[in-house]
Amino acid sequence: MTKLSITLIFALSVSICLSQNTEQFCNTFFNLQKVVFEQHYQPKTINDSLSSGVYRLFLEALDTDKDFYLQQDINLFEADKLSLDDYILNQDCSFITKYSDSLQNRITANINYLKTLKNVTLDYNNKYKLQFIPNQAYSFYKDKNQQEIGLQKRIAYKTLSRLLDEYEDIAYIQDNFKTLESALKPKIIDNEICLLSELLNKPKGFDNYVYSLFLNAYLKYQDPNSTYFSNSEKTIYEDGLSSNQLSFGILTDKNDNGQIVVAQIIPGSAAFINGNIEVDDIIISLTSKTQTLETFCVSNEDIAAFTTNENNNEITFKVKKSNGKTLNVKLKKSKIKVEENALTGYIISKDSLKFGYIELPSFYTNEDSPNGRGLTLDFSKELYKLKKENIEGLVIDLRFNGGGSMQEAIDLCGMFIDRGPVSIVEANNNKKYTLKDTNRGVLLKKPLVILVNNYTASASEFFASAMQDYNRAVIVGSKTHGKSSAQAIMPLSETEDLGYCKLTVEAFFRVTGKSLQSKGVIPDILLPSLYDNLGNFEADIPFALKNKNTYVTLKHFPYKKFDVDQLAQKSKARQSLQALFKQVDDNNKKLYSSIFEKGEPYTLSLDQLKQNQDNKIKFYDTIFTTPTVKNPIKVSNTQATTELLLYNKSNQEDNKNLILNLSKDLYVNEAFFILQDIIKNKP
């Protein structure tokens, strides 16, 4: 056989392989397109607008931080910006291969260059300039030389940063720099190579990885809450909804930089009770009595194996906070018993007035609750304890509650209204139905104040808006997130293994027919928030569903209206006398500037980086230090909780700290005074 014949056969086999892969992608995509058209709440037309939107989202997903592609690659791709719709309409998927091939080549080139840096002496003395630039101001590297300088800078920066994380004494680092750097730099490079290799060696192949990014871009153009899952990703997603994954109560994920981060903290768990670990904290290392796991190129499975090891019952989590500070948090495994609640009610009082307070972390169901019960049952048990204390009103705290089960939200509404509609639901065929509370009677007739903020979303907005429309509660805080859609997971095919999509299939409306989508719940009484204007709303996400109203088929009958104007005036008068609210407003402006404006440039050196980190920690400590009220309200346990703590000494210190922090919470204090005004205004 001639050399030419061998070459032709090889080329033919590659062509067939590519064709088969593209054919599979096409089959998956057009099944997805069919599901979207038939099931999505508002499927979008295939036209140039779709082409431009999907192109933008796809490119962002392929190279989120603009690390891989060069500007010449982007110039080549630009031809597709207004042509993707034509490819789709012609059922031509050939366009996808150039994105996959070019990305694979660029990542491989970066790996090869990183390997050479092991033998290169990097300059840690003011050669490289650093400057914080907001995401929207990023640009792609203009050529390979600029990209390689960027990689040098990254390795030098991460080496110095890790040294400062590991050793607090900068003098020690300076005295031993050569030894410490030579030991650490190869680890940093290997970690970077490992992260890039993970990208190249996806379980189902690199091409399928790129295909899934396009499928997700197509869905994200429909709306930001729709997502594509392969079969394995669907399993991981559903497992992530379970609260029993880790007995420390921490679920982890990887961020775009390949770092292990805290993705979720299970209510009622050891981590939840401790309170020092937060979502988005970066985990640097885990240390048990016998071993340490550093998070250099480790997977979530490695973390799970370490934390579930029966010999590792006590682990110190070394975490890096959002302000750059590192913290060692020791946790002990705890199995949450069925009789223990994920919620705890507290008494808040001043002078002769006594109210109840319950924070709802999420609208969890009995399937994903650590104690096998849903939120409503847990809530009712705590409310019963508070009612025995003769409370005159209740504060429900929904700040940072991202939602959860709509059924739990409906059931919670039923505790405070005596039957009636709680929402109108609309599907993509304009079919409407009304969600109702069908249970007679209420569990509490006393006045309610509901605390909300920008991170109050979905099911928690559903509940808050229903209470507002029924005049059952006064809503206090800042505008909520603005998500009023519901998603369902469905297969792309009943006969083929093509994966699944989580698709937005319905929108829910207030009982008045108005929508909170991309608008949120507007509080009756507005309070300044640290998170105002920081892009936290659904409306800030590209291609979010638009706000629209619907018609009412079943009228609701609200309770007597609170004198909200008078309550708001009194609250505003208190705010003007409370310097802490002015402090929150000032800090919000500083935080906005730090996120959306360019930082001051500085040169990379150990001293400069240390100074920059210290300044950052000082800045964020100032910004995120919770304003504490002087002469605060009194917070105490219910009698039932007090008795429970007698037999659970390990939780006594945590309970003491929680009560102290709650008593000084600026917003809880203001909620108390608003309830006080409601009681005093009663005829």
Q: What is the pLDDT of residues 4-28, one digit of tens each?
A: 333 333 333 333 334 556 888 999 9
Strand partners, 394: 356, 448
Instruction: Compare 110 and 340 and report the one with higher pLDDT.
Output: 110
Quote the pLDDT of residue 146: 96
pLDDT > 70 in the chain, percent: 91
The domain that holds 246 is classified in CATH as: 2.30.42.10
Number of domains in the chain: 3
For 118, which DSSP code?
G
Domain boundary among 179, 201, 221: 221
Residues 50 and 119 in one domain: yes
Sorted by sequence, the CB contacts under 8 Å of residue 207 that are 6+ apart come out as: 21, 25, 100
Checking if the pLDDT of 270 tops 90, the result is no
Residues 427 and 353 in one domain: yes
pLDDT > 90 in the chain, percent: 67
Quote the pLDDT of residue 20: 57
Residues 410 and 521 in one domain: yes
| 130: its two tokens | 């650093």
DSSP-based three-state secondary structure for 209: helix
Phi, psi for residue 205 in degrees, rounded to 5: 95, 155
| 173: its two tokens | 């680092």
**Do 94 and 23 form a contact (C-beta atoms < 8 A)?**
no
Question: Other C-beta atoms within 10 Å of 359: how many?
Answer: 20
Residue in the structure block whose two tokens are 């996808």: 96
Whole-angstrom distance, CA of residue 581 vs CA of residue 528:
6
**Average pLDDT score, the chain:** 89
Q: Is residue 298 in some structural domain?
A: yes
Of the candidates 224, 225, 255, 227, the residue with the CA atom closest to the CA atom of residue 541: 224
Sorted by sequence, the CB contacts under 8 Å of residue 205 that are 6+ apart come out as: 21
Residues 398 and 318 in one domain: no
Quote the pLDDT of residue 240: 41
Instruction: Compare 653 and 424 and report the one with higher pLDDT.
Output: 424
Checking if the pLDDT of 508 tops 80, the result is yes
Residues 163 and 275 in one domain: no
In which band, very low, low, confident or very high, does the pLDDT at 349 lie, cut at 50, 70 and 90?
very high
The burial of 256, by beta-carbon neighbours within 10 Å (0-12 exposed, 13-18 middle, 19 or more buried), is given as: exposed
Q: Is residue 127 in some structural domain?
A: yes
Q: Is residue 303 in some structural domain?
A: yes
The domain that holds 539 is classified in CATH as: 3.90.226.10
Q: Is residue 604 in some structural domain?
A: no
Whole-angstrom distance, CA of residue 267 vs CA of residue 90:
50
DSSP-based three-state secondary structure for 160: helix
Q: What is the pTM assigned to this prediction?
A: 0.85
Residues 536 and 470 in one domain: yes
Q: Is residue 552 in some structural domain?
A: yes
Distinct helix (H) and strand (E) counts, the chain: 21, 20
Whole-angstrom distance, CA of residue 521 vs CA of residue 534:
17
| 591: its two tokens | 């935080």
| 475: its two tokens | 């809503």
Whole-angstrom distance, CA of residue 302 vs CA of residue 197:
17
Quote the pLDDT of residue 233: 54
Quote the pLDDT of residue 652: 86
Quote the pLDDT of residue 338: 36
Q: Is residue 455 in some structural domain?
A: yes
Residues 321 and 360 in one domain: no
Task: Tell me the pLDDT tens digit for each residue of 102-145.
Answer: 999 999 999 999 999 999 999 999 888 888 887 666 799 999 99
Task: Tell me the pLDDT tens digit for each residue of 196-231.
Answer: 998 999 878 999 999 999 999 999 999 999 999 876
Domain boundary among 300, 332, 364: 332
Q: What is the DSSP string of 216-239?
A: HHHHHHH-TT-EEE-HHHHHHHHH
Residues 527 and 545 in one domain: yes
Residue in the structure block whose two tokens are 């919620």: 343
C-alpha radius of gyration, the chain, whole number:
28
Question: Can you give the length of the chain in residues?
Answer: 683
Element spanning 56, H or E: helix 48-62
Q: Is residue 209 in some structural domain?
A: yes
Whole-angstrom distance, CA of residue 287 vs CA of residue 293:
6
Q: What is the dihedral of CA 411, 415, 421, 426, to 10 degrees?
A: -30
The burial of 90, by beta-carbon neighbours within 10 Å (0-12 exposed, 13-18 middle, 19 or more buried), is given as: exposed
CA 431 to chain centre: 32
Quote the pLDDT of residue 421: 96
Checking if the pLDDT of 372 tops 90, the result is no
Whole-angstrom distance, CA of residue 448 vs CA of residue 198:
51
**Do 210 and 98 form a contact (C-beta atoms < 8 A)?**
no
Residues 164 and 247 in one domain: no
Domain boundary among 202, 221, 240: 221
Q: Is residue 614 in some structural domain?
A: no
**Do 229 and 241 form a contact (C-beta atoms < 8 A)?**
no
Q: Which of 36-50, 425-439, 612-626 has the highest mean pLDDT?
A: 36-50
Residues 143 and 289 in one domain: no
Whole-angstrom distance, CA of residue 476 vs CA of residue 538:
20
For the segment 38-52, the average pLDDT, to the nearest whole number, is: 97
The range of the structural domain enclosing residue 106 comes to 3-221
**Do 78 and 44 form a contact (C-beta atoms < 8 A)?**
no
Residues 147 and 52 in one domain: yes
Quote the pLDDT of residue 629: 85
Quote the pLDDT of residue 337: 41
Q: Which amino acid is at 134?
A: P
Instruction: Compare 439 and 224 and report the one with higher pLDDT.
Output: 224
Whole-angstrom distance, CA of residue 536 vs CA of residue 513:
25
Residues 428 and 494 in one domain: yes
